[in-house]
Amino acid sequence: MRTCTIFQKLSLIGAIAGSAATCLNFTAISTRDNTSHFECWQLSTPFTHSNQPGIAGTASVILGDVTNITYNVIPAGYDSRLHTVPSNQWAIVLNGVAIITLADNSTTSVTTDGGESGVLFFEDTATVSRRGHGSFYPGITETIFLQIPTKDGIVPEHEVLSNNAPCKGTEFAGLRGMALPDPLCFETVRSTELADCYSSVVAAGGEELVSQDELSTSIGTRAHLPVRVWCNECTVNTWYPDWSLRFIFLQATYLGSHNP
């Protein structure tokens, strides 16, 4: 049977601080021999957990200093034709669909509808790229993106993961993992084991705010039961849903080590 070690060293904060650092991967439109091409870059600065009120404990990374931000609304079907960028800049797609093409490589393109693949960096200015790249915006709705030039044209420190191809879906897996149950901050336990574990936490000094009968009844009726357990330095404050497979996700907020 699982014990209450499932409450030890949990949460996204603990996962980020205690595991290998996760860095932001993004597609760059770079240049070589006066020609624009795609690369996959990894930002050298890793994600850390934020201390900012409102998002405390979540993952964040600083992209660097910028000069201004432009909010662009592009109508459906708009074709930019080939062009270069005015300066080194980030482009972040918020809504819609954008297809980036290359002047000298018709076999490769980048399609993004935002999300993790919607962060792009462009450095194919007219001084280093002869023809630049093209942008097409298909679909039936507008495409919205932010245009963010870096201060003094600085290119962010990075590692090149691929020098002739955009980032693949697998190279965004680290970001997706931040939004999914993490082995360090979530455990999946059978509902029959939950009451035993809950009882052990209470016996170790936690405050019983919900009885085991109420816990079992909630599980049996597929309801959602709010449970809060204070146990020394470990706090659990979450909802326990009873999924169709009768599994429970336990999420805890890690405030320190605890070994009941």
Q: Which residues contact 129 (CB under 8 A, 6 or more apart)?
A: 31, 34, 35, 36, 84
Mean pLDDT of 213-238: 38
- pLDDT category of residue 56 using cuts at 50, 70 and 90: confident
Q: Ranked by mean pLDDT, which of 111-120, 122-131, 236-245 comes out on top?
A: 122-131
| Statement: the pTM of the whole predicted model exceeds 0.75 | no
Provide the H-helix boundaries in the chain.
12-18, 173-178, 191-203, 212-220
pLDDT digits (tens, 9 = 90+) for 72-84: 999 999 999 999 9
Mean pLDDT of 195-203: 48
What pLDDT sits at residue 170? 84
- Identify the DSSP state of 85: B
| Cα torsion 175, 177, 181, 187: sign | negative
Q: In which residue are the tokens 């979530």 written? A: 186
- Identify the DSSP state of 220: H
pLDDT digits (tens, 9 = 90+) for 85-109: 999 999 999 999 999 999 999 999 9
In order of their start, the domains of the chain are: 4-14+184-254 (no CATH), 22-178 (2.60.120.10)
β-strand 23-32 against 119-122: which pairing, if any? parallel
Q: Kindly report the average pLDDT of the chain as a whole number.
A: 71
d(CA 227, CA 189): 16
What pLDDT sits at residue 55? 80
Residue by residue, DSSP assigns 122-140 as E--BTTT-SS-EEEEE-SS
